[in-house]
Amino acid sequence: MARSCVLERNTKETQISLALNLDDGNVQVATGLGFFDHMLNALAFYAGWGLDLKVTGDVNVDGHHTVEDTGIALGLAFKEALGDKAGLKRFASFFVPMDEALCFTSLDISGRAFLVFAVDMPQEIIGSYESWLTEEFMRAFATNAGITLHQKGFYGNNSHHITEALYKSLGLALKEAIKIEGANIPSTKGIL
């Protein structure tokens, strides 16, 4: 059975349509924020996802609504596509180096939303993308996906490299955590 979801989310600030396939497919992303598109492409590629995502947002104001609402929509679609979570590996962690930067992601598809984000960004702006938006995306995604997500930037002096390592390590960890290893719910509680 395909692990996929088609979703639309419309507010006064953003209009989002997406199709997510957790197991394969092409990646096409258009959010109106070039650097964010680059990061979402990297996330989907390293997660092994098929993702068709179109976002129209009030980027004339700033990128906040576009980035946060995309995180919300992608988190909801991810949660829906997982289904009952039977057989999931559930936990995964990855380090990713990007030139001078080293970042780490650890996650648990637990049904309990939580974010720990311990990352310093040396530069405030990457293109038209504000560096603090990365934490906003990660919080919105983790909350709506129902995952516990920890990310740490160990070092780096280029916000582009740090941010890219965070998105890539998230993708790699998600790819590992959603692998099917059996038929049971991976929890001593019997539910996730």
Task: Report if residue 185 sits inside a domain.
Answer: no
CA 149, 73, 62, 164 torsion: positive or negative?
positive
Give the pLDDT of residue 189: 87
Give the pLDDT of residue 123: 98
Containing domain of residue 18, as a range?
4-177
Task: Report if residue 187 sits inside a domain.
Answer: no
Task: Report if residue 56 sits inside a domain.
Answer: yes
Task: Report if residue 184 sits inside a domain.
Answer: no
Angle at 188 between CA 184 and CA 192, to 5 degrees: 65
Task: Report if residue 151 sits inside a domain.
Answer: yes
pLDDT band at 191 (very low <50, low <70, confident <90, very high): confident
What secondary structure, in 3-state letters, does 32-78 show? CCHHHHHHHHHHHHHHCCEEEEEEEECCCCCCHHHHHHHHHHHHHHH
Task: Report if residue 68 sits inside a domain.
Answer: yes
* CATH number of the domain that residue 96 is part of: 3.30.230.40
Give the pLDDT of residue 66: 98
For the chain, the domain total comes to: 1
- Please determine, for residue 148, whether its predicted confidence score (pLDDT) is greater than 80: yes
Task: Report if residue 100 sits inside a domain.
Answer: yes
d(CA 69, CA 47): 20
Task: Report if residue 11 sits inside a domain.
Answer: yes
d(CA 138, CA 136): 6
Strand-pair category, 125-126 with 129-130: antiparallel
Structure tokens at 25: 């497919």
pLDDT per residue as tens digits for the range 40-84: 999 999 999 999 999 999 999 999 999 999 999 999 999 999 999
pLDDT band at 105 (very low <50, low <70, confident <90, very high): very high
For the stretch 53-57, contacts whose Cβ atoms lie closer than 8 Å and that sit 24 or more positions apart, written own/partner, are 53/16, 53/17, 53/18, 53/19, 53/28, 53/29, 54/16, 54/17, 54/18, 54/30, 55/14, 55/15, 55/16, 55/30, 55/31, 56/14, 56/15, 56/16, 56/32, 57/13, 57/14, 57/15, 57/31, 57/32
